[in-house]
Structure 1
Amino acid sequence: METITSPIPGPSRSDSVSSDSGVVYFDPSIPGEARVPPTGDTVRDRCRELLAKAMLKGFENVTIEEEIKFHNLTAEIEDCVFKEFRDTGNKYKQRIRSRVSNLGDLKNPSLRHNVMSGTISTSKIATMTTEEMASDAMKKLRKKLTKEAIRDSQIAMQGGTETDLLKCSKCGSRKCTYTQAQTRSADEPMTTFAYCLTCGHRWKVRW
């Protein structure tokens, strides 16, 4: 569980009532101001609240001042997304949803820390892809799966025995070939790969 032991760096600008970007900031010195800076738009305000909730996940003993800084950062993120799409339509909502999902992932604390420390700017996190935001563990898994997919594809295309016992799920053709390879431990069954000679579709055969 993450625990904040020192003040979190605030936005690059000073905490003030307003800024040139249009994001409203709240002064941490004012009691009771620990809330998300509002926009006056119900959808945008709700999205800011969701982002703030995601950013706060996993943290304990957060002071009012620190929470305000969380909120100001998430307000900047939402503002960047809104300025890109200029409305709160589906693209805007999808972008916000993916930020909320990744920032709130307890298995990806480095993403939150990088945003809060300024290593990742609010404008950057507003546009990062899902792959870019993923945790190191997820990136390694995706890399592994990609390598396996490439390997399987190469094996399936290496000749093979022609058969009419297999049916392509893409085009329905029975003009296929199959090959077998040991892709797991030696004491496990070999993996069968099929290749459709009609449309080029490749797949693993489940017997």
Structure 2
Amino acid sequence: MSKATLATVQGIKTSLEKEVAKGDDISSESVKDMLDQLDKCNMTMAVLTKSLIGTVVSKLKKHDDLGPPAKALVKKWKKVAKDAEANKQAKKAERRSSNNSAAAAAAAAATDDQPLANAEEWDDLLPQQKIMCQKLHKFLRTHKPALVKDGINEEAVDHLLVSRATEIEAAMTTKFKNNRAGYAEKARTLCFNLKKNAQLAEQVILGQIEADKLITMSSEEMASSEARKAREEEAKKLVDSKRLDWDQANEDKINEMCGIKGDLLKASLFTCGRCKSVKTTSTQKQTRSADEPMTVFVLCLNCGKRWKC
């Protein structure tokens, strides 16, 4: 955040507050000049939040002459908020993707928290194939207690663990023949998801998902329902942040970010002479000849005073 920009905006805000406090005697030319200065400022979300300049400019939106430039500024600042939110969501998605990749790599590399199995079926395999079978067996084995608890014979589970690990590795060798990078990437993804997604692992162990199908599934398809839901929510936030009507759909959020809250949401240009509240509403009527300006009737929502301008 530029300190110079913040200082400039805060200085203009102070001057604007003095003009707005004048009520009917507000200097339109002076305020227009200040609005032009604000339009030229390099406004950021940090400056908007720190200065709360929106709390003052929003009071000018109903003024005949000053309303259009004030509304244009607020619309411009809402776009700043929209872009800031989009960048924030994009960075979150990027960090999530990076964290998932790191977690998958860590899961595949973690082999010292429990001993690796050694089955006769693997003795004739190449060293890297045997290691892969052992890793797959290891991550499938973490779900053995749940299957035994559900009434499946423990020895039967042990037999299935070896068989499924062997089948999966064989399917990977066939699919990724002469593609070591593809084999390694699929190995990381499988190990991570078989460890984290109990439902997937149990379906694999029980043969409900065959090895040939498993190795063609994407990370999203193998993810647990909780992980898929979290990803969908992040994706929805990212899509929402790019909507053309995002500022309207997130009006309350933007107002809060810009410091426009409480009574300021109902604030108008007019200040009550009795209670000094800006919580007023106004209407215009043609009470004089057509070439004369319209008469403004104002009602204070705080104390009930009525007057006309």
Coarse TM-score class (shorter-chain normalised)? 0.5 to 0.7
User: 1:58 corresponds to which residue?
Assistant: 143
Larger RCO of the pair (alpha carbons < 8 Å, separation 6+): 2
Match of 1:124 among 213, 220, 226: 213
Greater fraction of residues in helix = 2
Normalised by the length of structure 2, the TM-score is 0.39
**1:25-64 to 2 correspondences below 5 Å:** 35=119, 37-38=121-122, 39-60=124-145, 63-64=154-155
**1:21-170 to 2 correspondences below 5 Å:** 35=119, 37-38=121-122, 39-60=124-145, 63-87=154-178, 89-105=180-196, 108-155=197-244
Q: Is the 8 A contact 1:43 1:88 kept in 2?
A: no
Q: Is the 8 A contact 1:44 1:88 kept in 2?
A: no
Q: Is the 8 A contact 1:54 1:100 kept in 2?
A: yes
1 CA distance for matches of 2:252 and 2:120? Answer: 56
- Secondary structure at 2:132 match in 1: helix
5+ residue gaps, structure 2, are 1-116, 260-309
- Secondary structure at 1:44 match in 2: helix
Q: Is the 8 A contact 1:81 1:127 kept in 2?
A: no
- Secondary structure at 1:37 match in 2: helix
Q: Is the 8 A contact 2:143 2:201 kept in 1?
A: no
Pairwise CA distance, 1:182: 3.8
Normalised by the length of structure 1, the TM-score is 0.56
Pairwise CA distance, 1:34: 7.0
Q: Please tell me whether Structure 1 or Structure 2 has the larger radius of gyration of its CA atoms.
A: 2
Pairwise CA distance, 1:92: 0.4
RMSD of aligned alpha carbons: 3.1
Pairwise CA distance, 1:63: 3.1
Opposite residue 118 of structure 1, the aligned amino acid is G
Distance 1:34 1:146, change over 3 A: same
Identity of aligned residues (%): 20
